[in-house]
């Protein structure tokens, strides 16, 4: 192919580039926070906002920018997202004050949101239905690697360079991706989406509710307990989301799009994704604590064992995508969620929990999410109307974060005392077995719900905007 008509697989690499840098920067900064706190003369609690504000920006703006991208030219919004991300990274590296650092991090988060809101929509636009599974399988691997390997990569870079280099490296990558996006991404916008109105009230309710829930989750993750303020934030966040649901029932252009969620594959796929992400996050937290505090593993050894999950997922996801493209998605979704459920039994039922059983749990769950995510994402994006694919992709990313928030809350509720004076000797006692048992039920519920998904093979349709 000529340079003006690149292969769709070449376009996928640009998409993966954006997915990697936007998810990697969620965790890559964490290891540098103590050094940054020392340099800017602030407390560790204050410097924690450098990590939090990035996530808050993404959670607040994902659905709104997804809706906006469907109205405008997706190619332009996506490519400009790389530029904004790179600009934010540049400003962070050059920051001399704490306020400037936070504002720059927020700008970087806006760019990351513009990228994440359109990543899966761009795959849907470029790939026909019978190839989306493989493409989104590769993209699911990148999401997992970027999300889980951030701290490890950040720690490695800090061995050889100062913390600003964690952000300097983003600048050339973002600029190259911006240029390639403007040159390679397909032009055109949906005429159907241009006519739709934007639900500003719903967007504000969703942003505020999700941000309050995330702030509550971050607070309980640090303190391992529910304070009155944390409970108030969580309850108010839930109230705002209920208000959003009531608001969306009154209008036909809501951010919770009626047409989108009237499609069974879309609402059921998002609900299933929420539960699987909840189970993943809720079980990773106590496993991490157990390895370090009970078995005496170093942070490096713990990280190496936890990497089993994305590594196994990386091998499985492309196969799952291929199978979905050839035979349909119902079998990989059901088998994947069933394996996720079975993995919980290694902790919930085994008399002794050892590093081997933890490794088995991580590996089997990794196989499960490799089968599930690649297939489920492809099914959702293929079921969504082409004119609303950015909104569908952004809501799917939003659901992933909400599932992680709920997982943190569930883990804190059931095993928040783990490691305290009263709970240090319990090791993997009753509370943590209950936690894994609850997550087993969630994963089984996804398996059962999978029977409601229409068993359809992907079509040979051409790509669409």
Closest C-alpha to 48, from 63, 64, 61, 31: 31
The segment with the largest mean pLDDT, out of 81-95, 298-312, 349-363, is 81-95
The segment with the largest mean pLDDT, out of 5-19, 357-371, 399-413, is 357-371
Give the pLDDT score at 425.
44
Q: Whole-prediction pTM value? A: 0.83
Percentage of the chain exceeding pLDDT 70: 91
Q: Decide: 212 and 233 in contact? Cβ < 8 Å.
A: yes
Q: Where are the domains of the chain?
A: 8-452
Under the banding of pLDDT at 50, 70 and 90, the label for residue 100 is: very high
Q: What is the mean pLDDT of residues 77-96?
A: 94
Give CA–CA dist 376/372, Å, rounded. 6
Which of 266-270, 292-296, 338-342 is least confident? 292-296
Under the banding of pLDDT at 50, 70 and 90, the label for residue 149 is: confident
Give CA–CA dist 269/264, Å, rounded. 8
Q: Which residue has the tokens 């196969």?
A: 319
Q: Decide: 110 and 84 in contact? Cβ < 8 Å.
A: yes
Q: Is the pLDDT of residue 87 over 90?
A: yes
Residue 459 neighbours by CB under 8 Å, 6+ apart: 128, 129, 130
Give the pLDDT score at 424.
43
List the structure tokens of 54: 């990035």
Give the pLDDT score at 221.
67
Q: Which CATH number fits domain 8-452: 1.20.1250.20, 1.10.10.10, 3.90.1150.10, 3.40.50.20?
A: 1.20.1250.20
Q: What is the mean pLDDT of residues 157-175?
A: 88
What DSSP state is assigned to residue 291? I
List the structure tokens of 323: 């199978």
Summarize pLDDT for 205-221 with one digit per residue, the tens.
988 988 888 788 777 76
């Amino acid at each position: 192919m000529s340079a003006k008509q690149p292969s769709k697989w070449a376009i996928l690499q640009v998409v993966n580039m954006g997915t990697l840098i936007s998810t990697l920067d969620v965790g890559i900064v964490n290891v540098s926070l103590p050094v940054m706190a020392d340099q800017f003369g602030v407390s560790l609690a204050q410097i924690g906002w450098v990590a939090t504000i990035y996530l808050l920006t993404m959670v607040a703006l994902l659905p709104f920018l997804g809706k906006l991208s469907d109205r405008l030219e997706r190619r332009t919004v996506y490519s400009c997202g790389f530029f904004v991300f790179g600009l934010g990274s540049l400003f962070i590296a050059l920051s001399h004050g704490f306020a400037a650092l936070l504002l720059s991090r927020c700008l970087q988060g806006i760019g990351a949101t513009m990228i994440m809101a359109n990543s899966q929509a761009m795959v849907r636009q470029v790939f026909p239905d019978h190839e989306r599974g493989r493409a989104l399988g590769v993209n699911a691997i990148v999401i997992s690697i970027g999300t889980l390997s951030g701290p490890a990569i950040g720690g490695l870079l800090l061995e050889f360079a100062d913390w600003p280099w964690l952000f300097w490296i983003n600048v050339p990558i973002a600029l190259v991706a911006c240029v390639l996006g403007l040159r390679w991404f397909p032009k055109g916008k949906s005429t159907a989406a241009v006519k739709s109105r934007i639900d500003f009230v719903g967007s504000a309710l969703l942003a505020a509710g999700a941000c309050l829930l995330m702030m509550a989750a971050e607070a309980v993750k640090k303190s391992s307990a529910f304070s009155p303020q944390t409970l108030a934030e969580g309850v108010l966040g839930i109230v705002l989301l209920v208000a959003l649901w009531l608001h969306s029932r009154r209008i036909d252009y809501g951010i919770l799009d009626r047409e989108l969620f009237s499609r069974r594959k879309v609402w059921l796929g998002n609900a299933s994704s929420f539960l699987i992400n909840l189970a993943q996050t809720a079980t990773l937290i106590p496993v991490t604590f157990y390895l370090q505090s009970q078995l005496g593993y170093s942070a490096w050894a713990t990280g190496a064992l936890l990497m089993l999950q994305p590594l196994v997922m990386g091998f499985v996801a492309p196969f799952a995508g291929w199978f979905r493209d050839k035979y349909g998605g119902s079998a990989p979704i059901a088998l994947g969620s069933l394996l996720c459920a079975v993995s919980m039994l290694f902790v919930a039922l085994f008399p002794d929990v050892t590093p081997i059983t933890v490794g088995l749990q991580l590996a089997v769950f990794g196989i499960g999410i490799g089968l599930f995510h690649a297939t489920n994402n492809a099914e959702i994006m293929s079921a969504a109307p082409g004119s609303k694919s950015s909104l569908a992709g952004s809501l799917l990313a939003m659901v992933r974060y909400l599932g992680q928030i709920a997982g943190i809350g569930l883990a804190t509720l059931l095993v928040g005392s783990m490691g305290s004076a009263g709970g240090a000797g319990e090791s993997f006692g009753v509370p943590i077995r209950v936690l894994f048992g609850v997550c087993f039920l969630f994963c089984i519920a996804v398996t059962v719900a999978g029977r409601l998904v229409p068993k359809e093979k992907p079509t040979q349709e051409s790509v669409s905007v």
